[in-house]
Structure 1
Amino acid sequence: MGGPPAHVLAGLADHQEPLFRKAACRAWDRLADEARERLLHDEDPDVRQAAALQVCHEDEERTTWLVGRPGDGWQMAEVLARGRLTRELAERVVAEGERLAAIAGNPSLPPDLVARLAADPDPRVRLQVSARPELSESERAAIDYTVDAEDRLSTLDWVWERREDAAFLRRCAKSAHTWLRRSAAVCPGLPADAVELLAQDEDFAVRLLLAEFHPEPPPELLIDLYLNGTHRAVGMLVVRPGFPAAGLATRLGDSPDPRGRRLALRDPGLEPELLDRLSRDPETRADAGRDPRLPVARIRELLADPDRDAAAAAAANPALPAGTCAACSTAPGCRKSR
């Protein structure tokens, strides 16, 4: 569930309770300049911290103050990742060596420190450096980084900020860096040629992200991922508006893979003979039992099927006459149904 809308939060900027003033900072873009200044200088340190988090990307002084405050690990990582750094603070954090993965992608990190972290022993640090926006493809390739198939990587902020820039996204889609390609795959402004390119990408996550987030993913990509992907998310691709249906019966009705045969049931041109056969197939019987194109006589037979899933599916079939007894599969009027 989402939180209160921004206009409600913005109205709390002058509330007498610090907790509410702190909440108002989450609607920073809706606040007047005067309200922002009051929150940045609030008497309550937690309110000042919440406000400082909103401006630290352009304010060295507040970044330094935030780093010096005790706080949660995730918040400190956020400040170091995007807060504007003084030279002194950057050198100190790098020298301490404890939060290098957080600071390695910071846009204001001095170039010489970027170069130092590019050779850091920690692969997480090298990976962060390799995905910096100012690097060329050759500079990225010179860094010893890896992206494993199972690595969960958030979309790069600097890519998402240009999510409607077709030329820029095309370059990201052609990058040798998997993280850039994954980030481009979720952007709505991805041009058609880049969509086609990423649909054939060697990285499974790139293809899956494209299928999940692009407004018009290639139909063949959706089918391929559904039939061959092992990630649990592929099972949800059939609900995408662009998932194909026409022609699946001819293509997959005799597939050795039960997932393929189940897809055949989606075809609006499915022949009655194939539907009947799929209703007798142990792997597809339940799915076929839900199909309103199935003859009522066959639906009633499935009501008595020992396979409980098939019987339950038939009982929910909208073509089944109202009042049909699920206990004995008879027409309306059975004593057991009264």
Structure 2
Amino acid sequence: MSDVLLGLAGNPSLPRASVDRLIATADGELAEALAERPDLTRAQVVALAARDEGAALQLAYGGRLTAADVDPVARPLVALALLDERAGPPEWARTLACSGSAELRKKLAACPGLPEDVERALAADPDTGVVAELALRTTSGLLARLAMHPHAEVRQAVAVNEAAPPHVLAALLDGDALPPAQSCRVCQGEPDLAWDYCEGAHESTVHAMRYAALCNPATPAAAATAFAGHPSWLLRRELAARTDLPPQVYTRLAADPDARIRARLADNPVIGEALIRTLAADDDDDVRKQAAHHPAVPLDVLRRLASTVRTGPPPLPRIAAASSDEIAELAASPDSAVRMLPARRSDLPDDIRDALTRDPDAKVVAAVASHPGLTEALLASMVDRRGVHVAARVAANPDATAALLERLARQRPPARKALREIARHPRATAVALVACLDDGRARPVAAGHPALPPAVIAGLLTDDDWEVACAAADNPALPPAEMTRLVH
């Protein structure tokens, strides 16, 4: 019954009186499910927040609780949520900054727009985790001071913060421009990872700090460039992702012996055609795959890559930006792998799209089968010629008619993937949806479809599969009398 109530809590057709009754007894998951309802009245919001802390936090972050609803001393976590949303008064921040709980002070340090006096107090907090959280989040002038903090973890947090001044980030990368850190988690006996180590220079934390600084776009390129030959592949990989380096650095990284660095470089939008061609001819599959995804990859290179790398279903960026003439040229290629490239675009010209539905390669036909604009006759002809190879993609087509969906649902043997698409299709009829209930994975989806007959929905409330029962309870077509019965 608890699973059914969870589904019922989100049902948009649940009568208001039933919502009140659920709120009166709700806690935990049920309360949090109710907090997601967009139709809660003001009185229901306040009552639900009083019932459960988790629900109160959701409501606070959702902008549905106000400062007048919360006592910061009795419910500090909810008060922190409002401060995090800039909806709490400054006095709350001052009160919580004096809390005896380091965890609460740490959450406070993560809140934006804190008063200056509160930030200064948190910067001097005896708990390193609190100071590090402030260093990670603040946008104030305290960042330069925090970069010299004796604990390396605080410095690492500054390196992540994009509001840190460029000269501060450069100093953190260099290491010699700041006084050495005096401690880190590892030398204090609190390593985060099994391979963390410290032999006096806080090596693991310093490495993490440099990694963060190289990832930070505010770090000056001149400071980052020095790491092109660093022994750490992790640092070189993040350097390869930067878009502000001199061309000679990218050329050097393209010859890096580690394929992970070359693959990250191949994904960099600022490298030129010469490097793209070099990386597209790489021996490593992942490097070539990333080169195929580059938005500026030349089409002749992409044609060569089409049959050697797996690029996934979404259209490649270069294909998404291709002109109509380029699309026509690719669609007319004798190579099916090349024809597949434009087939993945859902905005093809009608004549090219329709021609690809008759392609001799079933994979090309399947790629175009879900595109909008196809007539019922074309969709049906694809099913006639290709059967189960295209059934699921046809069923996912937004223009698939109710009759065609019923036909696909009646196929024997059943096309299981097609049933899962039919179960979520807005045009699916009761006949098609009942057929979908025979498939274990389509059943929970079909149970929530509003076109399913009310009597069938009610029968699914006691299904052995909790997902099915929950989806049925969430179905807006569930009879109101059945909803009332479940609540009472």
Report TM bin, short chain: 0.5 to 0.7
**CA 1:49–1:209 in structure 2 vs 1: closer, same or farther (change >3 Å)?**
same
Instruction: Give the Å deviation of 1:133.
Output: 6.6
**Partner of residue 333, structure 2:** 251
- CA-to-aligned-CA distance 1:243-269 (integer Å, 9 cap, x gap): 4533122214xx3x5x45544645648
Q: How far 1:198 moved relative to its partner? A: 3.0
Q: Indicate yes or no: 2:188 matched with 1:69.
A: yes
- Give the gaps of 5 or more residues in structure 1: 81-87, 94-98, 109-131, 148-152, 330-335
Query: Which residue matches 2:312?
Result: 235
User: Partners in 2 of 1:319 and 1:290 — Cα distance?
Assistant: 9
CA contact (8 A) 1:159 1:183 kept: yes
Contact 1:207 1:221 in 2 (8 A): no
Amino acid at match of 1:185: A
Q: Distance in 2 between matches of 1:171 and 1:306?
A: 47
Q: Are residues 1:200 and 2:277 paired?
A: no
The number of residues matched between the two structures is 265
Select 1:175's aligned residue among 231, 235, 255.
255
User: How far is the alpha carbon of 1:291 from its aligned partner?
Assistant: 4.9
Deviation at 1:8, TM superposition (A): 3.7
Instruction: State how far apart, in whole Å, the 2-side matches of 1:328 and 1:237 are.
Output: 28
Give the SS at the match of 1:246: helix
Residue of structure 2 in register with 1:54 after alignment: 154
**Closer/same/farther in 2, CA of residues 25 and 136 from structure 1, 3 Å limit:** same
Q: 2:214 maps to which residue?
A: none
Which residue, 263, 280, 290 being the options, matches 2:370?
A: 290
Structure 2: distance between partners of 1:163 and 1:272: 37
The one-letter amino acid of 1:248's match is L
TM-score of the two chains, using structure 1 as the length reference: 0.53
Amino acid at match of 2:103: L
Q: 1:235 offset after TM fit, Å?
A: 0.8
Three-state SS of the structure 1 residue aligned to 2:130 is helix
Correspondent of 1:18 among 87, 95, 102: 102
Q: Is the 8 A contact 1:195 1:217 kept in 2?
A: yes
Q: State the alpha-carbon separation in 1 of the partners of residues 118 and 338 from structure 2.
A: 59
- Aligned partners of 1:106 and 1:288: how far apart in 2? 45
Distance 2:195 2:109 in 1: 18
**How does 1:45-124 map onto structure 2 within 5 Å?**
45-48=128-131, 52=151, 53-55=153-155, 57=172, 62-74=181-193, 77=196, 89-90=200-201, 102=204
Quickly say closer, same or farther: Cα 1:170–1:226, change in 2 above 3 A.
Answer: same
Indicate the SS of the match to 2:271: coil
Whole-Å Cα distance in 2 between the matches of residues 44 and 202 of structure 1?
Answer: 50
What amino acid maps onto 1:54 in structure 2?
Answer: V
Aligned match of 2:122: 39
What does 1:125-204 correspond to in 2, within 5 Å?
156-160=237-241, 163-178=243-258, 180-204=261-285
Cα distance change, pair 242–134 in 1 and its aligned pair in 2 (3 A): same
Say which structure, 1 or 2, has more relative contact order (CA 8 Å, 6+ apart). 2
Kept in 1, the 8 Å contact 2:297–2:318? The answer is no
8 A contact 2:280–2:305 mirrored in 1: no
Partner Cα distance (2:256, 2:407) in 1: 63
**Cα distance in 1, alignment partners of residues 273 and 108 from structure 2:** 41
* CA offset digits 1:129-153 (Å, max 9, x no partner): xxx975887xx8xx9x9x9xxxxx5
Structure 1 residues 200 and 283: CA distance shift in structure 2, 3 A:
closer
* TM-fit CA distance, 1:27: 7.8
Identity level (%): 18
CA distance in 2, matches of 1:158, 1:263: 31
Task: Quote the Cα distance in structure 1 between the aligned partners of 2:369 and 2:240.
Answer: 46
Deviation of the 1:42 alpha carbon? 1.3
Q: Verify the 8 A CA contact 1:211 1:217 in the aligned structure 2.
A: yes
For 1:72 and 1:9, locate their aligned partners in 2 and report how far apart those are by CA, in whole Å: 32
**Superposition CA RMSD, Å:** 5.1
Output the CA distance in 2 between the equivalents of 1:236 and 1:24.
Answer: 43
CA contact (8 A) 1:304 1:311 kept: no
Partner of 2:448: none
Q: TM-score, normalised by structure 2?
A: 0.40
